[in-house]
Amino acid sequence: MRTQVVIIGGGPSGLLLAQLLHLQGIESVILERQTRAHVLARIRAGVLEQGMVGLLAQAGVDARLRSEGIPHHGTLISYDEEIFRIDFERLTGTSVMVYGQTEVTRDLYDARDAAGGRMVFSVENVVIHDADRDAPFVTYDDGHGGQRIDCDFIAGCDGFHGVSRATVPASVRREYEKVYPFGWLGVLSHTPPVNAELIYANSQRGFALCSMRSPTLSRYYIQCTASDRPEAWSDEAFWTELKRRIPAEQAESLVTGPSIEKSIAPLRSFVTEPMRWGRLFLCGDAAHIVPPTGAKGLNTAASDVHYLFEGLCRYYNDKDPEGIDRYSERALARVWKAERFSWWFSALMHRYPDQSPFDLRMQRAELEFLRSNEAAQKSMAENYVGLPY
C-alpha cells in the first residue's frame, strides 16, 4: 500500500490532521493501536481555545461544537476565604469554549467516516523505517499478518507512550522533564455544575477544580498524592473532600451524585526537541506533556497540527519545503509558552509536600497580586484563552 502521509495515532491530533489534509486533497492513513470505542471512552480535556475552535471549523467539524459548546467568558479563582474572577472577555476580547475532548474526537471520527478516510484500528508492532531517508515506510500487524505502507511523510500523533518519539535516535533528542509530587483525581457525574464558570481552588488541603461538560454533566478534580489509586476513593469520600476545598457558598450548593468515571492523572511537564527527524514529525502528546492546570494539553496538540498542516500544504501545493523545514522551530516556540503557563499556574494553585512557610507566603502573595493587579490578570487571561498561532 502507498499513501502520502502515514499518521500514527487516532487521537485528536491524528484525526484533525487527517481531516485537514483530506480537505486539501492530501491522502493519509491513520494507524491506531486501540479500538475506536476505547479511544472514545477516554475522558480528558474540556476547554478549547479559540485557535482550536477555528481549526475545527476549518476542518468542517464544528456544527455540534457551535450548538452544544458552552462559551466561557471568565473563570473564578479561590484561595483561603477569597474568591475573584478573571474576565477573559474584558481583558482579551475573547473567550474559551467548554466542549469535551471525547466529543471533539467523536465529531472527527464521524467526519473521517463520511469522507471515506482510511483508518486501521487495533494495530500492533508499528515500526517506522527509513524516516531519515527519501523513501520511508511503516510496518504493522493488523490481525491478518504483517502490512507495509510506503509514504512521503510520517506524522507521529501517538501520544506520550507511542513509538514515534522513541524512533528519533537518542543522540538527536533532547528531553526536558519535571514530574510533580501529586496527581489529579477526577470524577465525572450526571449532576448540574456547581457554578456557571470554572472554579480553580487553592485550599490548605490542596487544589480542587470545578469544571463541566454540559448543563447536566459535571467534571470535578482534587489534588491527590502521586501514589493514590481511584479505587481507594469512594464517591462519598471524594465529595466530602471536594467540599472542604472550594468556597463555602459553592460547597453548600454542590449537587452530588454517583460518579460515572473516576480516574487519576499524574502531573508532568515534558518537552522533546527537535519535533522533526527527517520525514518524521512529532505532534501533540508524542512531543510534549503539560500538567492539566490551565487546560493546555489538547490545545497545544492542535497548534502543532496547525503548523504541520500548513507546512505539508506548502510542500504539496507550492513545492515549497520551508513550512516543514521550520515546523519544529515554530511549534516549539508556542509549546514552551504553554509549558511555562501550565507550570506557573500549577505552582500557584497546588500544595507541595515540601513547601516551607516562606514558600506558602510567596504563593499567597502571588495570588493576592493576581487578584488585585490588572496587568497580572491580563497576562493570565491572554495565556488561558490561548496565545496566537
Name the residues that contact ligand PHB, by CB under 6 A: 45-47, 198, 209, 211, 219, 292-295
Among 163, 168, 212, 242, interactor with ligand RFL by CB under 6 A? 163
Q: Is residue 159 a contact point for ligand RFL (CB under 6 A)?
A: yes
Distance between CA 350 and CA 328 in Å, rounded? 32
Q: Is residue 284 a contact point for ligand RFL (CB under 6 A)?
A: yes
Q: Is residue 275 a contact point for ligand RFL (CB under 6 A)?
A: no
Active site residue 22: no
Q: Which stretch binds ligand RFL (CB under 6 A): 55-63, 129-137, 154-162, 227-235?
A: 154-162
Q: Is residue 9 a contact point for ligand RFL (CB under 6 A)?
A: yes
12, 193, 247, 292: which one is catalytic? Answer: 292
Q: Is residue 297 a contact point for ligand RFL (CB under 6 A)?
A: yes
Distance between CA 20 and CA 233 in Å, rounded? 42
Active site residue 262: no
Distance between CA 140 and CA 238 in Å, rounded? 42
The distance of closest approach from Cβ of residue 308 to ligand RFL in the complex, given in angstroms and rounded to an integer, is: 12
22, 288, 296, 350: which one is catalytic? Answer: 296
The residue count for binding ligand RFL (CB under 6 A) is 33
Q: Which whole-number Å values give the CA distances from 233 to 4, 41, 194, 238, 241, in the listed order?
A: 48, 21, 21, 6, 10
Question: Pick from ligand RFL, ligand PHB, none: which does 162 bind, CB < 5 to 8 A by kind?
Answer: ligand RFL
Active site residue 389: no
The distance of closest approach from Cβ of residue 100 to ligand PHB in the complex, given in angstroms and rounded to an integer, is: 7
Q: Which whole-number Å values give the CA distances from 83 to 75, 92, 234, 276, 370, in the listed order?
A: 10, 21, 29, 44, 11
Q: Which stretch binds ligand RFL (CB under 6 A): 112-120, 155-163, 328-336, 363-371?
A: 155-163
- The catalytic residues are 72, 200, 292, 296, 384
